[in-house]
């Protein structure tokens, strides 16, 4: 075997690097010249070429001319995802059942895939930039069916299903005007940050995903328990809730379907390997409807790309960019430059100076109560608490936009309308006027007065006790008093 100098090897690598990008320009560039010296060749056309992983020139292995195939990016995004699969396959008896479940619902599967069209390219780009497995681009199928407006019983929101506390931990703002758990860019950044951190903790993608679903503390305790019992500590070895037990089999099933859709008789929609959206900087407050109009995008499509917005206005100080379909970003900018209107926003913010009913707030800001409720998403029978930020019509003379402090931190705090009610309880063992007063935060003298006894009196077990309490005027769920004193009836006053 002949050995070459580092200078020769560098020249060879440079020659190969040029060929990989552009390919040969004529037949002479494909000829492998003789390699009889350790010095660099005089011209690139005679530079020795090497097969992958070899130190011997092609001329010594095979005299036939060879070309270097140009690298091409996949035209289809699904193929790009397949090329990036990097997790070990989960070998579980639960996977075939999940495959059958998805394959038996082709319409639902196609709807999910169609929803993903708007977001998938960005997620794949971010995964590749971080050198993470592209299987993770399929995780929102499992979490939310790729619906950025998804909301769970556990108060998890968005494509990646962040609960409020974890969202705050990963800098996802949740205020009166936006919820970044639904924001396409912010939530994807947070989810991948979280998954990277979990993978760093456990060194295993299956355990990282189990932690994403169940919590790293729960997975850590399950691993510690198995270690004490001298059991395995892999994902399949752990005792976990049923939801987590099925979580990764669902992802594996989706991976298998994307890998071989024809095997499962599934037709994935064609998604081009091209960005769906572009981001546009916002420098002034602007109504959502006007932004969609200037972008020449249907309002529903605009909201699908900007699902974090809570209100009918975009506050530039808090949301400095919006997402638009790729070709519409330039259209928006052109129409914005040509817009003749003096104001882009018809809304501003009013801070409630005290706790008040919505009718009173509407009167103060000169709005119809129904319009105030609609603009701020206030349910019936709720009272607005002091310090709440409310969206109200912007006066014609007001030029100033909403400040960053309010746009980033404004909150709407509500409390149910309350009414004083007469409630009758049955006394428990050793109940006295003082114990009842402490239990319900009442004055002992009032409890004694309502029950026509002295402040030092005791009650017999089962004796009826009358108290007056502030309770929701229109409770949405049945009211349950403390366990020590169950109500026999409630009398409104």
Residue numbers annotated as active site = 143
Q: What are phi and psi of 232, to 5 degrees?
A: -65, 160
Q: What's the angle, vertex CA 406, arms to CA 405 and CA 409, rounded to 5?
A: 80
Q: What count of other Cβ atoms lies within 10 Å of the Cβ of residue 182?
A: 27
Q: Are 324 and 306 in contact (CB under 8 A)?
A: no
State the chain's maximal CA–CA distance in angstroms.
Answer: 116
Q: What are phi and psi of 464, to 5 degrees?
A: -75, 135
Identify which of 409, 410, 417 has the alpha carbon closest to the alpha carbon of residue 384: 417
**Cα(83)–Cα(71) distance, rounded to whole angstroms?**
13
Identify which of 266, 415, 301 has the alpha carbon closest to the alpha carbon of residue 352: 415
Identify which of 241, 244, 167, 242 has the alpha carbon closest to the alpha carbon of residue 208: 244
Containing 421, the helix (H) or strand (E) segment is: strand 418-426
**Cα(246)–Cα(236) distance, rounded to whole angstroms?**
11
Using the 8-state DSSP alphabet, how is residue 292 labeled? H
The b/e string for 389-401 (b: 16+ C-beta within 10 A; e otherwise) is: bbbbbbeeeeeeb
Containing 358, the helix (H) or strand (E) segment is: helix 358-364
- Alpha helix positions (H), 72-204: 77-83, 95-103, 106-116, 120-129, 139-144, 164-169, 184-202
**Cα(38)–Cα(133) distance, rounded to whole angstroms?**
42
Q: What are phi and psi of 134, to 5 degrees?
A: -75, -10
What the block records as the tokens of 342 is 């003096």
**Cα(150)–Cα(159) distance, rounded to whole angstroms?**
7
CA dihedral 260, 265, 267, 273 (to 10 degrees): 0
What Å distances lie between residue 166 and 192, 222, 265, CA to CA? 13, 21, 38
**Cα(247)–Cα(249) distance, rounded to whole angstroms?**
6
What Å distances lie between residue 442 and 415, 470, 483, CA to CA? 21, 11, 17
Task: Find residue 471's DSSP bridge partners.
Answer: 419
């Amino acid at each position: 075997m002949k050995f070459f100098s580092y200078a020769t090897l560098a020249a060879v690598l440079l020659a190969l690097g040029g060929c990989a990008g552009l390919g040969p320009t004529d037949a002479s560039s494909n000829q492998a010249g003789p390699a009889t010296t350790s010095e660099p060749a005089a011209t690139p056309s005679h530079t020795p070429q090497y097969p992958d992983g070899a130190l011997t020139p092609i001329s010594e292995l095979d005299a036939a001319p060879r070309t270097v195939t140009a690298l091409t990016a996949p035209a289809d995004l699904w193929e790009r995802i397949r090329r990036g699969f990097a997790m070990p396959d989960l070998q579980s008896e639960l996977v075939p059942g999940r495959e059958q479940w998805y394959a038996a619902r082709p319409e639902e599967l196609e709807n999910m895939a169609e929803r993903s069209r708007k977001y998938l390219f960005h997620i794949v780009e971010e995964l590749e930039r971080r050198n993470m497995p592209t299987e993770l681009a399929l995780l929102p199928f499992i979490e939310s069916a790729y619906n950025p407006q998804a909301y769970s019983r556990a108060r998890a929101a968005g494509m990646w299903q962040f609960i409020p506390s974890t969202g705050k931990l990963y800098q996802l703002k949740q205020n009166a005007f936006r919820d970044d758990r639904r924001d396409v860019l912010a939530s994807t950044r947070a989810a991948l940050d979280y998954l990277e951190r979990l993978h760093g903790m456990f060194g295993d993608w299956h355990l990282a995903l189990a932690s994403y679903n169940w919590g790293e503390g729960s997975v850590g305790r399950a691993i510690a328990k198995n270690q004490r019992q001298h059991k395995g500590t892999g994902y399949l070895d752990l005792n976990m809730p049923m939801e987590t037990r099925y979580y990764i089999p669902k992802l594996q099933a989706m991976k298998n379907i994307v890998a071989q859709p024809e095997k499962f008789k599934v037709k994935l929609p064609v998604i081009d390997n091209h960005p769906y959206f572009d981001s546009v900087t916002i420098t002034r407050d602007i109504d959502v409807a006007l932004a969609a109009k200037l972008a020449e995008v249907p309002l529903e499509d605009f909201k699908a790309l900007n699902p974090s917005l809570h209100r009918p206005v975009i506050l530039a100080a808090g949301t400095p960019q919006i997402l638009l379909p790729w070709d519409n970003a330039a259209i928006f900018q052109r129409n914005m430059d040509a817009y003749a209107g003096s104001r882009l926003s018809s809304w501003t913010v009013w801070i409630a100076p005290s706790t008040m009913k919505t009718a009173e707030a509407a009167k103060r800001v000169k709005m119809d109560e129904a319009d105030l409720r609609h603009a701020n998403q206030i349910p019936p029978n709720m009272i607005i608490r002091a310090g709440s930020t409310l969206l109200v019509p912007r006066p014609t003379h007001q030029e100033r936009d909403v400040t960053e402090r309010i746009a980033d931190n404004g909150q709407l705090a509500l409390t149910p309308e309350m009414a004083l009610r007469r409630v009758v309880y049955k006394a428990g063992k050793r109940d006295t006027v003082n114990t009842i007063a402490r239990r319900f935060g009442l004055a002992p003298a009032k409890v004694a007065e309502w029950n026509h006894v002295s402040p030092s009196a005791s009650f017999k077990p089962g004796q009826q006790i009358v108290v007056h309490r502030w309770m929701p005027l229109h409770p949405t769920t049945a009211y349950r008093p403390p366990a020590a004193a169950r109500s026999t009836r409630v009398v409104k006053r």
